[in-house]
């Protein structure tokens, strides 16, 4: 399976390179004082180099995208992602259309993190229809399958979304959205005892300060039975957007998510800055999130976005620990505040951006009581290969 | 089986290598207009291409109507509505039945800029992949 997957990715990458209609290169430099997002903040810098290309055949297009990410202090976490796939737009009439895509991904980490290497397949189908000139109905279905080197993380997930929006003459848009998702871990299992952690200061959160939390896959103990385990989530979202001409936009968003059945099969859950962690995704929590964003077009056509987000998340099945790793008998619950600023300037052939995030996360698991600053600057260069 | 299908797809697409498409964008005819959306449709514009998101825009000062070609993927990427305010920079390509037609290069709406073509008119959109988060500017943070 993996051999075929790799072959397909290589073929598609070569194919798309030869035929590309569009090609773009991007580079970003990212800095943070808390790479592993925990109380033992660790500084690092990440350099990302990525490319994107596609080729269109009537309503069908092939695409390939690759990204290499290098970490200066934690070089063992460096990784390469290769995506390739195809998509297709099928118009029903002048107001409605279907969209389908099928894609594969290979994720390759260096050394200790290689247990998180995976191949994945994704199928996505969407439908959009203008019910009238001021109302849009959208729905989509997504299927994801990930096959990790360490099979305890293997899963298949299904998601369905339906949304409806309405634009009013006051230049206000209201939008409501309903999401349902199911994620099935195909082979989680119990370790009879805690596996010894091969602490490597260069790859462990908190530099191996005596806590089992970290980036080594062996420390994500599974507390499930040997057969598969599923998690089912359901969420409601709302959006209010207000336009003030073409240069100012304001939006408020809210989301509430429930776990309908199942729970996380992991011992704990982590998020890393710009490095994917298989224990965390939209299925791992329930709670709510509120956000606001102001978008401005400044002189010299500079685009500025200011955002503020608060969230409260509970992680079913995840018990909080103290710093000595004693179970506290309570489910982990996090409250997060985030401020973000992003400025972008588009030039004729390339665009540049600078962004800054500040996050404060408070948790009843003291290890995840943390705050962090995240800076990024980047450039994207578009190289036309097709016709006008 | 899946691998075989993908390989077949790879092979059948090879003959189209080197195909040229017609040049529609004229940089000498570039204009910028602002106005309100009057109508939104998706319709075919070019042979063997996906249908385009087409917006009818009423120019703010003159009340003149322009037909604006956004992009094929734009139908799924952009949720425009009738009555919304847009600023469009693009090439005016009035000819025959297509009077006051603009091929959009840049669209501004709700404080955001959407770049659709480079300054020479070459497309910069990416299929329909905005739906999967592959399109657009990366925030650089996975939350």
pLDDT at site B5: 53
**Is A110 contained in some domain?**
yes
Top pLDDT among A32 and B18 is at A32
Give the distance from CA A79 to its chain's centroid: 16
**Is A83 contained in some domain?**
yes
**Is A312 contained in some domain?**
yes
pLDDT at site A266: 84
**Two structure tokens written together for B81:** 């509505």
- Interface residue B95 vs chain A (CB under 8 A): no
Q: How many residues are there in chain A? A: 388
pLDDT for A129-146, tens place per residue? 999 999 999 999 999 999
pLDDT at site A56: 79
Q: What is the mean pLDDT of chain B?
A: 74
3-class SS letters over A284-351: CCEEEEEEEEEEEEEHHHEEEEEEEEEEEEEEEEEEEECCCCCEEEEEEEEEEEEEEEEEEEECCCEE
Q: How many domains does one find in chain A?
A: 1
The torsion angles phi and psi of B116, rounded to 5 degrees, stand at -105, -30
The whole-number average pLDDT for the span B41-54 is 83
| A336 to chain B, closest Cα gap in Å | 11
Residue B138 confidence (pLDDT) above 60: no
pLDDT at site B27: 87
Interchain proximity B137–A11, CB inside 8 Å = no
**Is A51 contained in some domain?**
yes
Chain A contact set for B73 (CB, 8 A):
89
Q: Which residues of A79-112 are buried (b: 16+ CB within 10 A; e: fewer)?
A: bbbbbbbbbbbebeeebbbbbbbbbbbbbbbbeb
Q: Say how far apart CA A23 and CA A21 lie, in whole Å.
A: 7
| B143 to chain A, closest Cα gap in Å | 8
pLDDT at site A388: 57
Please tell me the CATH code under which domain B27-118 is placed.
2.40.50.140
| A201 to chain B, closest Cα gap in Å | 24
Interchain proximity B82–A95, CB inside 8 Å = no
Residue A326 makes CB contacts below 8 A (sequence gap 6+) with none
pLDDT lower than 70: segments of chain A = 1-19, 188-228, 384-388
Residue A126 makes CB contacts below 8 A (sequence gap 6+) with A98, A99, A100, A138, A139, A140, A141, B76, B131
Q: Say how far apart CA A136 and CA A228 lie, in whole Å.
A: 38
**Two structure tokens written together for A94:** 């002048």
Domain range holding A172?
2-147+160-182+233-262+269-384
Chain B contact set for A89 (CB, 8 A):
50-51, 72-73, 75-76, 128
**Is A18 contained in some domain?**
yes
List the end-to-end C-alpha distance of chain B, in Å, as a whole number.
36
pLDDT for A142-187, tens place per residue? 999 999 988 888 999 999 999 999 999 999 999 999 999 999 998 7
> A77 and A71 in contact (C-beta within 8 Å)?
yes
pLDDT for A79-112, tens place per residue? 999 999 998 988 899 899 999 999 999 999 987 7
Interchain proximity A52–B126, CB inside 8 Å = yes
For chain B, the domains span 27-118
DSSP one-letter string for B104-130? EEEEEETTEEEE-B-TT--B---TTGG
C-alpha count within 13 angstroms, C-beta hemisphere, residue B28:
0
Which of B22, B84, B124 has the CB atom closest to A382's CB atom?
B124
Task: Give the CA dihedral B125, B82, B85, B108, nearest 10 degrees.
Answer: -10
pLDDT at site B140: 27
The whole-number average pLDDT for the span B120-130 is 67
- 3-state class of B31 per DSSP? strand
- Interface residue B12 vs chain A (CB under 8 A): no
pLDDT at site A220: 61
Q: What CATH number is attached to the domain comprising A79? A: 2.40.160.10
Pairing of strands B65-69, B101-109: parallel
Chain B contact set for A176 (CB, 8 A):
none
pTM, entire model: 0.81
The torsion angles phi and psi of B77, rounded to 5 degrees, stand at -75, -40
Interchain proximity A133–B81, CB inside 8 Å = yes
| 52-91 in chain B: CB under 8 A from chain A | 72-73, 75-76, 79, 81-87
Chain B contact set for A55 (CB, 8 A):
13
B42 forms beta bridges with: B53
Interchain proximity B110–A249, CB inside 8 Å = yes
How many contacts, defined by CB atoms under 8 Å, are there between A and B? 220
Residue B2 makes CB contacts below 8 A (sequence gap 6+) with A4, A8
């Amino acid at each position: 399976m993996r051999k075929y997957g790799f072959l397909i990715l290589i073929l598609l990458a070569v194919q798309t390179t030869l035929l590309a209609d569009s090609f773009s290169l991007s580079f970003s430099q990212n800095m943070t004082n808390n790479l592993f997002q925990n109380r033992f903040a660790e500084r690092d810098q990440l350099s990302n180099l990525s490319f994107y290309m596609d080729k269109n055949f009537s309503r069908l297009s092939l695409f390939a995208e690759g990204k290499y990410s290098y970490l200066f202090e934690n070089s063992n976490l460096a990784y390469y992602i290769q995506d390739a796939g195809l998509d297709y737009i099928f118009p029903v009439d002048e107001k409605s259309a279907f969209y389908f895509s099928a894609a594969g991904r290979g994720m390759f980490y260096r050394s200790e993190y290689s247990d998180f290497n995976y191949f994945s397949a994704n199928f996505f189908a969407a439908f959009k229809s203008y019910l009238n000139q001021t109302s849009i109905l959208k729905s989509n279905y997504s299927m994801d399958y990930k096959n990790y080197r360490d099979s305890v993380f293997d899963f298949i997930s299904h998601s369905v979304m339906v949304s409806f929006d309405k634009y009013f003459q006051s230049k206000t848009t209201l939008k409501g959205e309903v999401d349902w998702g199911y994620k099935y871990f195909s082979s989680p299992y119990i370790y009879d005892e805690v596996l010894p952690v091969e602490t490597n200061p260069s790859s462990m959160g908190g530099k191996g300060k005596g806590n089992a939390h970290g980036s080594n896959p062996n420390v994500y103990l599974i507390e499930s039975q040997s057969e598969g385990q599923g998690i089912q989530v359901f969420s409601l979202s709302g959006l209010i957007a207000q336009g003030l001409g073409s240069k100012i936009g304001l939006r408020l968003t809210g989301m509430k998510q429930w776990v309908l059945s199942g729970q996380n099969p992991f011992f704990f859950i982590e998020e890393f800055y710009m490095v994917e962690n298989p224990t965390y995704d939209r299925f791992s929590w329930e709670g709510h999130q509120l956000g606001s964003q102001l978008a401005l077009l400044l002189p010299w056509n500079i685009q500025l976005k200011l955002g503020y987000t608060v969230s409260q998340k509970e992680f079913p099945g995840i018990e909080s620990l103290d710093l000595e790793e004693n179970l506290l008998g309570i489910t982990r619950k996090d409250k997060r505040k985030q401020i973000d600023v992003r400025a972008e300037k588009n030039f004729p052939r390339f665009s540049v951006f600078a962004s800054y995030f500040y996050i404060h996360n408070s948790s009843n698991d003291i290890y995840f009581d943390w705050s962090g600053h995240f800076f990024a600057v980047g450039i994207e260069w578009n190289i036309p290969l097709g016709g006008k | 089986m899946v691998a075989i299908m993908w390989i077949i797809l790879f092979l059948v697409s090879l003959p189209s290598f080197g195909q040229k498409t017609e040049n529609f964008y004229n940089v000498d005819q570039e204009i910028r207009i602002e106005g309100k959306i009057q109508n939104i449709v998706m319709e075919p514009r070019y042979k063997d291409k996906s249908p385009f998101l087409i917006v009818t825009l009423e120019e703010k000062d003159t009340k003149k109507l322009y037909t604006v070609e956004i992009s094929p993927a734009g139908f799924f990427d952009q949720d425009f509505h009738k009555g919304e305010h847009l600023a469009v920079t693009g090439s005016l390509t009035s000819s025959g039945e297509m009077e006051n037609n603009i091929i959009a290069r840049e669209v501004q709406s709700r404080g955001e800029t959407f770049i659709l073509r480079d300054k020479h008119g070459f497309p910069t959109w990416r299929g329909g992949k905005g739906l999967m988060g592959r399109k657009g500017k990366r925030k650089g943070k996975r939350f």
